Amino acid sequence: MADKILEVKDLAVSFKTQYGILQAIRGVSFDLHRGETLAIVGESGSGKSVTSRAIMGLLAGNSIYEGGSIMYQGRDLTQLPEELFHEIRGSKISMIFQDPMSSLNPIIPVGKQIAEALIFKMGMPKEMAKKRAIELMESVGITNADKRYSQYPFQFSGGMRQRIVIAIALANDAEILICDEPTTALDVTIQGQILELINRLKKERNLSIIFITHDLGVVANMADRIAVMYAGKIVEIGTSEEIFYDPKHPYTWALLSSMPNLASSKHLDAIPGTPPNMIYPPKGDAFAPRNKYALAIDFEQEPPLYKVSDTHYAATWLLHPDAPKVEVPEAVKILQRQRGRVKK
């Protein structure tokens, strides 16, 4: 397998709130390999954005770092000295948010914002930076780039703004691109184009991508691996093929069953109930109260992360050798039957 570029281990972050301490992420571990797309999926509130903000060093002021490490090139980013902060975060590791305006300066022409990254971070002379910025705009699919160089963010559509943010990341020579719901605010056609762009850049530049989404459907054709998050933990992780065609965790089953546009569309099931209040995380498997497959032990004791294959792990008591065999939901059966017939 390709080399590791990022290694997140036992990462835990809480927040002080007026109601008490909220445990947003509770021991998140994963590796990111060079040139791969790792998707992190889960319902709203599961801790996806907190995970990505922790990597970027962008946690809110009321956050409490509870422990864990984020290794990048032999350095623990959680212990990074101030002077190295901007060399890595926002540069080698760049992030794209749902709202591109949050990373663009509204009063500076877009081309100049790209050129500034080249001048200040890469030390490029001004004229060369302008030329290169225009090339980068073209490479992310902005036509008439030489004219549009001088335009302001408000003169661009949402999809085009997202392309500019991506061009800035490229100007920073990013190795890791963290995309946090980058297409959620865009309509479906534009969404597809942005996904295509991210995919192409990944291949052309051997970028490593963390792609965060609440929608498994979005990553079906682009993720190499998928981590499924629930209540601040990764409950299942595996290759895309393993998560789609051989899922083991009932929460992953529920996510798959609630996906429209799959073979399973006739059996579309919303996930019943709501995620837990993380000020009072439930005992045992946090998904148990919503899980019709829950065993008695799920309400008492947290399941270990069972190994399914070298690339596939899931935290569910159903994988215990003595667990009863259960009938998986219809949607999952349909997917399992497709396995082997589907070429990636």
Determine if 46 is a binding residue for ligand ADP (CB under 6 A).
yes
Determine if 49 is a binding residue for Mg ion (CB under 5 A).
yes
Count of residues that interact with ligand ADP, criterion CB under 6 A: 15
Identify which of residues 46 and 172 has a Cβ nearer to ligand ADP in the complex: 46
Give me the residue whose beta carbon is nearest to ligand ADP: 49
Determine if 253 is a binding residue for ligand ADP (CB under 6 A).
no
CB atoms under 10 Å from CB of 302, counted, come to 17
Query: What per-residue string of b and e applies to 34-71 under the rule 16 or more CB within 10 Å gives b?
Result: ebbbbbbbbbebbbbbbbbbbbbbebeeebeebebebb
Of residues 256 through 295, those in contact with ligand ADP by CB under 6 A are 278
Identify which of residues 39 and 50 has a Cβ nearer to ligand ADP in the complex: 50
Determine if 37 is a binding residue for Mg ion (CB under 5 A).
no
Measured CA to CA in angstroms, residue 298 lies from 47, 72, 224 at distances of: 21, 35, 30
> Binding ligand ADP by CB under 6 A: which of 41, 50, 96, 110?
50
Identify which of residues 32 and 115 has a Cβ nearer to ligand ADP in the complex: 32
Q: How far is the CB of 99 from Mg ion (least distance, A)?
A: 11
Structure tokens at 315: 């935290």
> Degrees (nearest 5) of the Cα angle 307, 308, 309?
95
Determine if 68 is a binding residue for ligand ADP (CB under 6 A).
no
Determine if 44 is a binding residue for ligand ADP (CB under 6 A).
yes
Which of the ranges 38-46, 89-97, 123-131, 316-324 carries the binding residues for ligand ADP, by CB under 6 A?
38-46
Of 316, 254, 252, 260, whose CA–CA distance to 284 is shortest? 316
The residue ranges that bind ligand ADP (CB under 6 A) are 15, 17, 22, 24, 42, 44-50, 60, 62, 278
The residue ranges that bind Mg ion (CB under 5 A) are 49
